[in-house]
Structure 1
Amino acid sequence: MTRRGIKKEPPERSPLSTSTSVPATASSASNNMGPPSKKPRNEDTVDAQSVAVSFIRSHAPSAETRHHLVIDDDQEPIYLERRLCGVNDLGGSPISSQAADTSFAHTSFSHPTFTNIGVKLREFNNTVGSLQQLGVSHVAELPELVLVGDQSAGKSSLMSGLARVDLPCSAGVGTRCPLHIRLIDASNGHWSCTVALQLDYDFEPKGKIKKSDVTANNPFPPWVKKSHRDNKIFKTIFDPTEIEDVLRWAQVAILNPGNDHELYIPGEGAIAKTEDLAEAARNSAAQFSPNIISLEIKGPELPGLSFYDLPGVFLSPDQEEDEYIVRVVRNLTSHYIKREGAIIMWALPMNHDPENSISLGIIREAKAAQRTIGIMTKADKLAPENKTQWLQMFHGEKQSVGHGFFATSRPPGETLESASTWEQLFFARERATGDTWPIEFEKFNHRCGVNLLSEYISVQLGNAFAKSLPTIKGKVYTRLREIEHQLEGLPEIPYNVEHEVKNSLYQFLGRMKTAIKDSEFSSRWNTLNNQFRDIIFQIKPTCRVKEPQTQTIDLSDADTEVSAVTPSRRPRPSDSTMRGTPNKRPRLDEVPVTPVKNESFSGSGVFHASPVVSTGPTVDHGPFVSFRNLGRLAMDIRDIRSQVAKKQRPGMPRDLVPDEVRESLCLDAVKKWREPLEKYIDKTAELLEAIAHEALEESLGVLRRRLIFRECKSHLKEFIDELVTDQRVRLSEIYDSETYQMYVLNEDTFTRYRAQELEQLRRARAIFRLKGAALIEWSYEIKRPEEMSNEEKDREAKILNQQLPKLGRDPYDTEIEVAAFVRGYYRTAAARFVEGVTMNVNSFLFRRIGSTALDMFMDRKLGLFGQSGKFSPNTVSENFVLQRYFNRTERVYTPHGRGRKDRELA
């Protein structure tokens, strides 16, 4: 160990005062409101060990020994203690004794050993920028610089000066989403800028947004936080003049998350080539985004710096419907300011009253004033009468912030070089014309100008990272241990991977073939078939029987439901009616209103309708319940009469109904099957997917965390989707056949159904007419025939036989016959349709599942078969490629030899 004396240089000439020197701590630098002192304080020097990337002690004096070396008297020499290290700075070989006995030049401040401290500071800042781009804040909070300010605070010009590039200063860039700018000193001397989109939020619009929608739990509607960050490279440019155009289009891309961002790349994307930029910006899907546009700028002599630029906060939007954006921008600013590691750069213009700053209020609410650097912009706009107020702020007497204030002046519209020269002359009070910097501020010249501000914030960011590095490292290692613990829970790799996977897949394919024949699945599918059948018969067209001057009987639901709608005033019978009416009207037992008919299914496969009226809806229609009223009031006897009259040729008898009228009514009735059929196909597909998932879980459940499980699940869904698409086409053809034209081959069944429907309609019509003529009680309602006793049936038949002749022939008898024809045909076609649909699903869709179609499909996707073409769990084929799914894992060796685990790669 040797000692050498070095004469201490004046502070202003020390390399430690430059941007490449040892950074000053936040506490000393922030409190330096006056001229710099002649003697640096002890805490102004950071231990080189704490800032070294390799964590190896450098040749600079350490924090432990420095207090022994500082001499208060400026004229006294400083003795530096030089220690021998086991390894050199770069982690190389041990230092030899010859290397230890070096000349004075090797220990002077001009030696690269000391200037490397500034290089390491730059490396720190570059590392911070890299970590910020990776989005690891959920693991460890990183130190960061955040530029905030009100609208029109001069942030754009300030940002251009800090980034050393001409960024756009007009409205429209950086005002509708945050910017992250990272500056890197390029060793090759070439300038480049890579623009990327950092997507932390998903766009989920749910109608028009109101101010009340912006809450603490939903701070940025309609944007929702994602579980991870997506980084999308937008464009890399090599000409600084292109940066404005690229930035504007990047903002349009980030505000249209539903479109591929590549569509907006200038000079390449289809939208950027064909649409005007201003028009594209106006038509953006979102008005604002919390997602980030990232700029990684590399160039010669750039400071190692990274910072966020946030949209300017404001109070009133241009449009009333955008009031919510005021709160959203405020929430975004508060979100960044509240981060404990954030160093706030608060921009406030000197031509405005600082007491009206909205940003200052947000800073104080977050209790972040001590982490704030005040930046007075537009210094050339300072009004002489306001000098006292701003001097007080420089002295820390008003709007005090922890790091004090800097002043800048960057005239808009100037190039970067011109603006820098203009600013230097302005603060040096050397401008020939115009306003100059007041002489009262001369003692704060060490805090004036963007260049000095850039050096200061670079040092502050490096200091913050150096101090937080142990904490960050600890959190990363803690998270790493958590992940390793989770990995230990993963199963070991099978001894024979191919055999295990093949065997599991063999079981899966076999399980799929038997699953569709299991009683459980058959029961579930049969229930769906019954519900489909019931809803098809439920929507049989009902008929409204109504005459203009009388009451209405609604023949609705699945059969001849009769609703006796009692008029507001009971009609007074005519004299002729009274003469034919006994003194006491016949009274029949009252029964409840009976809206739904009971339909039964015979063993022969033909649906038979009981000529009765049910007591209410007892059928569970399941997923088809929303269709139960499709056939309600589909016909009206007056409409039928109108259609017959339109289609009859002159001179034809009124009772002769043209065939086209009957066919038109029949086809209109069956066309209502489209929606129930689509629902049936969807529900059948859901059942199939459910049993497929169950089979997959039973057979490959042990490989659930493996890529092979996800691949099989994806391929299986693709296979089912293809089958269901083909099945949908087949069923659509059946539907088209039914709606193409009326077709009856089984005339016996049709004749029987028509007779049943005609009997029910005539019975209902007869009771309607008798009520209208006041020949029976108004309270009379129809009972289901099977619910009536023989005496009740005889009594009703006797009354109908006695009273109906008094009314004469029914004027709507022909229309009643047509309605019965339509309903009879509907029942005949419905039985044929339901049976055809369900049989087609069974013979095509389920048969394909039970055949080798699935085996062949999985073979194309995964390579399951050997050269023989037969699948066997014992087959080991050279072209078997399932091993690749295990090769797509990362092998992790756990500490202390506890065995190896696999970690799937993202």
Structure 2
Amino acid sequence: MTTRSGRVIKHEPLGSPTESTRSSSTMPPPSPSPKKRKLPHDGYLGTPSMTTPSIAPTFTRSHAPSAETYQRRDDDQEPIFMEMRRRQDNIGTGRHSTPSSQNADASFVQQSFAHPTFTDIGLKQKACNDTLGDLQTLGVSHVAALPELVLVGDQSSGKSSLMSGLARVNLPRSAGVCTRCPLHIRLISSKLDRWSCTVSLQQDFDFQPFPDRKPRTSDVTRTNPFPPWTKRPHRDIKPFKTIFDPNEIEQVLRWAQIAILNHNRSFEQFVPDEGTFAKKYTLDVAARETDAQFSPNIVALEIKGPGLPDLSFYDLPGVFISPEKEEDGYVVKVVKNLTLEYIRREKAIIIWAFPMNVDSENSISLDIIRKSGAADRTIGVMTKADQLSNQNIPTWLAMFRGEKQRVGHGFFATARPPNQNLEAAALWEKLFFDREVVENTSWPIEYAEFANRCGVEVLLEYLSCELGAAFARSLPSIKDMVNTRLKQIEGELTSLPELPHNVEHEVKRSLIQFLQHMKTAMRGTEFSSNWNTLNRQFRACVFKMKPKCTVRDSDTQTIDISGADSEATTPTPRRPRPSDSTMRNVATPSRRPRQDAVTTPVKQEDATMGGMSRASSVMGAPGADLQNPFIAFFHLGRGAMDIKEIRSDIMRLKRPGMPQDLVPDEVRETLCLRAVEKWSSPLETYIKKTADLLEYTALVALEESLGGLRQRLIFRECHHHLGRFITQQVASQQGRLTEMYNTEAYQSFVMNDDVFRSCKAQEMEQLNRIRGIVRLKALTLVDWAYPTKLWEHMSEEERIKERKMLDTNLPKLPKDPYETEIEVAGYVRGYYIMAAARFVEGVAMNVNSTLLRTFRENELDTYMDNEFHIYGRADPSLYSKLMEEDENTAKRRVQLKAEKDKLVRAMHSIKELESSSTGPSVPSVTRPHVTIDSDNEMDEGVL
């Protein structure tokens, strides 16, 4: 391969003969010191195709035919060279790279890279490297890993001189430039005579300093490798300055680094000759007063000019062990972490720079490379070759031959003297490696066989070749992954629509639709059915709370009069005693009460918003399988009355001289109000469940009308105001129902005597029936095992039989000593039944005619119109504000759109490259003779 300087480069393995040598013994061995041959320079445009071998880790000449000795056929249009298949990929994986199409349609890939002529894309080196540079600048490595060159080395390793040679620009070499942040250099060959350099700041991290101290070494962890810097969701690119004079590059780079280190300030104030800070302070002062000591953000240079190589690479700060100040000890770990991050990138080609005037075993960078498993992806560059001592010649010769410090791409040597401009340094290096005496220094003759591995120009050609080939191999999978990510972003953006064209119309239309849905839902069968179920549950609960009465003639004889809504139980048969008679007509306290079969219609929600439960995104029937919310109150009627306690109250309140069977009114009043007072808890539950049902119905209507605008402010505002309206209306309704309750609990009140007497008569009949059975059992006139059932649960035959039994035996008994107390219990229970029916019906009627009416008619419309101006005119900014999103959603859309823009531009660059590779103007190029021998064997040669 011919370099731009005219030197011939031969990339050949050491240590074993080639296949051509094994097949022909007539080829003479090369001389130890081959002559340099000048070939016509036709412009090195590319690398072999994706199957072309790469360079070997060792470099002894093979006996394969060269470009001059191979006999061409008459119909050959251009030279044809021996081409060897490689066993291993020297870019680190050990296997040939293959396009990945697992995440994209096969047809998508076939439309591009499966095209037969696409394999020639490797020849278009400039186009490949230009496209790769575009992708690197755009920052799409989070989507697809990109091939990249990464220059690493210890401090004082000659990296700055090497970087200046590679960039073909006189970069500053003193402390302060690219020592405290990474540098990305992109070189673009231009047909224009004008040189230009655009400097930009690529911000991937945010600066979040500790409020009261500097970072410490202990702050540097695996999860926080660059304190106090934190990773951003996407890259932000700030254009810093474009210059057209190479002599200005040092100043601009220094100020760009200062801007990077002052992340939380406007970068514009640090632009030289323009920014306020740059005009006021000198570089030295500004460098001492930066907010951060180090930054993982990147200063990027895009250099265009005639004769430049098409190349891009990263230059990292030099790795070191001891900081200048003890307080900056954390920077040592941070720089090492940064180097690790770049080296570990699977497609990074590492350029390891180390000087020939020190022992390479002491290289910190080499240790990092080895521990990262990146040696196979590493190019060794021995700098400061002019400072090599004669006694170390065998050591460095062994490295050239791959016998020591072996790396996958072998070693190059450079010698760029400091304090010389670019042209002088390049000339000096050429004379030096040509073994001309330069300043009493000469390149030892022992290294003559590696002349094709010496000089920055030779290294540049090799880097450009390797980077282009790696990118060509990776391009199908890169395009695949970029396209897949684009589809994901587009899908997510469809769920985050932009503002509608007519914002006011959209707001009003959505709110009017909601109000209509709300009215329809309140009159619909679903709401009516659920609310009727709640009313039935409430009524059943209140009637189950009817006060129970326990009859106790003695300490052992008891009777619990439960009433018609409870089941009678039969005690375990045992031998009766005259003084022991126990009878209960309801389940014992230890027995679990029977649950009502009807369930609550109200769905519970955990989170609330504006006084209203937040509906889930998928609305379903409310709580059809939840427990009756009133079950907990069923037991409140138990133990309400006892005939012995009733007698005690009568005796306590009776005035002297009153007849024995005369009961003071206060006794009846107290027992009646005590039973009614227990309605407060069920009433509170009824109100809450009614409110829950309203909220659920409102949220269903809201989802149906504004569900598509859930991420907009209008949805949250409507949700908030709707919740507040429901809260206000429920609070007013609760006040009215509380008044109804207080009226019932204030004083017993009977207007319909006929209803009251009927209710009392029914209760007295039940009480006397059960009381009679208990007395008969106590006197052994009835078998103790006789079952006591609820009257309504008995068959007609059982009822006739029991009446006959009671009519026959009760006349035999003396007068009941608790007859008066039984009458009081019947009075209280009769009043309770009448008052309960009145109260339950009144509560339901009041809720229907007041609370529910506000939603069926126009009160909600008026309220929402006052908030949103649905039916009138308002400031247009109000409607625009209502269509705004929450901060997180808006920020997410901005991020997605920014990422989409980058990926669209990336796809455009890829498609342009693809198009140029399939066009008719693909130039013919001479492929360099390149061989690989990673396992001391060669595959069969392929012509």
TM-score, normalised via structure 1 length? 0.49
- Superposition TM-score, scaled by structure 2 size: 0.47
The structure whose RCO (Cα within 8 Å, separation 6+) is larger is 2
Which has the larger Rg?
A: 2
